[in-house]
Amino acid sequence: MVPVARRMLFTDRRRALLGVAGVAVALVMALTLDGIFAGTTRQVSRYIDTSPADIFVSQEGVRTIHMAISVVPVAVIDQIRELTGVTWTEPILFSGDALEVPAGRRPTYVIGYQPDGRGGPQTLIEGSEPGTGQIVIDDSAADALDIAIGDEVEVMGLSWRVSGLTTGMTSIINTTVYVTFEDLALVLGSSNSASYILIGTEGDPETVANNIEAVIPGVETQTRPRFSAEERTVVKDMSTDLLNIMSLAALLVGLAVIGLVLYATVLSRLRDIGVMKALGLGGLGVFRLVLTQAMWTVVTALALALAATFGIGAVVAALAPDIDLVVEPASLLRTGVGAVLVGALGVIFPLIRVWRVDPATVFRRTS
């Protein structure tokens, strides 16, 4: 078959380029929003994802770190250690606050851990682990707030001296700082309790987790992947409505652009369409013609948008390391399906216009 739809669409290259670019911009908006959101949720669960623990134990009913308060008696650690499959245990304390210096402030997770233990920063890029009154902060937050090792910072109303820098623990939402377990216990006034207990296992973590819950009352156990997924879900749930509204707005812009592009293409080719109808193109053929043009616009725009989003991701990574832009397959699929639906909707008005073209117009003179 002669690719008449594609030819008609792309013969006027400038118009086609503008149209495809317009739709691509709308799709870039949707993909970028999704990408930043996906990147942020990944960053939010980074402490969990990079932890060597196979199981996280929390207070019964608490399934996340974000937006949660968990209190687990330290006494249960000894009981857990006795169980089959448990190789190591380590308590951590957690609180949420802000990291403050004269140059500014940034919301932060505060982790209290035992230095030389497994609950602290996994990548210490400079300096040393915290001692009493000391704190380890993330290099990205340090850059943003102009903090260096040895500087004083304020967290939870107290002054701390920066002993080291970690990396990869700052997102556009917050950062993560580390102090000693004892210091944070003093600040929180918690004695003989932890927020979470990290557990290393041998064998199947799921089996060990179930065993802990069966033996020790009042605790919740989750494997690392499940705990991480719960953490991301709670962040997503908090932002889903906003994200949906913004994605919908982007797709509506795309719809308007596709509709306008196709309408303009159709208007510029009404005589050709009249000729095709006169020659014998039926209603189904006309529908296929306009729909194919819409799909070409959408598919080309989607490819362009994907390339542009990866480009934006690279630029953002270089200019703003706190922002992680991740294009997930699910996001691509969602945006693609949305774009196809938008393309299908976009043909309605052009189709109505084309439907009304009288094939007898071929007998009218063009000049």
Partner 1 sequence: MSTTALAARQLDKTFGEGSTQVHAVRGVDLEVQAGEVVLIMGPSGSGKTTLLSMLGAMLRPTSGEIVVDGNDLAAIPESRLPKLRATTFGFVFQDFNLLGALTAQENVEFALNLTDVSGKEARGRAQDLLTKLGLGERLSFRPDQLSGGEKQRVAIARALANQPPVILADEPTANLDSKIGHDIARLLRTIATEENRAVVMVSHDSRLKEVADRILWLEDGAFRNLQNMETDPVCGMSVDPQEAPHLQAEGDTVVYFCSTACREEYATAESPGRHAFPGMPSTDQHGEP
Residues at the interface with partner 1 (CB under 8 A): 1-2, 4, 7-8, 11, 269, 271-272, 275-283, 285, 358-360, 362-363, 365-367
Residue 311 in tokens: 């480009």
- Residue 244 or 268: the one with the smaller Cβ distance to partner 1 is 268
- Residue 98 or 286: the one with the smaller Cβ distance to partner 1 is 286
* CA-closest candidate to residue 43, choices 231, 227, 182: 231
Residue 129 in tokens: 């682990």
67 half-sphere exposure, CB direction, 13 A CA radius: 10
- Residue 19 or 120: the one with the smaller Cβ distance to partner 1 is 19
Backbone CA torsion sign across 111, 235, 167, 321: negative
Min dist CB 361 to partner 1, Å, is: 9
Min dist CB 272 to partner 1, Å, is: 5
Q: How far apart are CA 223 and CA 208, in angstroms?
A: 9
Min dist CB 3 to partner 1, Å, is: 9
Residues 6 or more apart whose Cβ sits within 8 Å of residue 248: none
Q: What is the largest CA-CA distance in the chain?
A: 95
- Residue 218 or 285: the one with the smaller Cβ distance to partner 1 is 285
144 half-sphere exposure, CB direction, 13 A CA radius: 21
- Residue 192 or 367: the one with the smaller Cβ distance to partner 1 is 367
Min dist CB 345 to partner 1, Å, is: 25
Residue 219 in tokens: 């605790």
Min dist CB 282 to partner 1, Å, is: 4
- Residue 192 or 366: the one with the smaller Cβ distance to partner 1 is 366
Min dist CB 289 to partner 1, Å, is: 11
* Distance linking the first and last C-alpha atoms of the chain: 32
**Tokens 């994605």, located at residue:** 247
Residues in the chain, overall count: 367
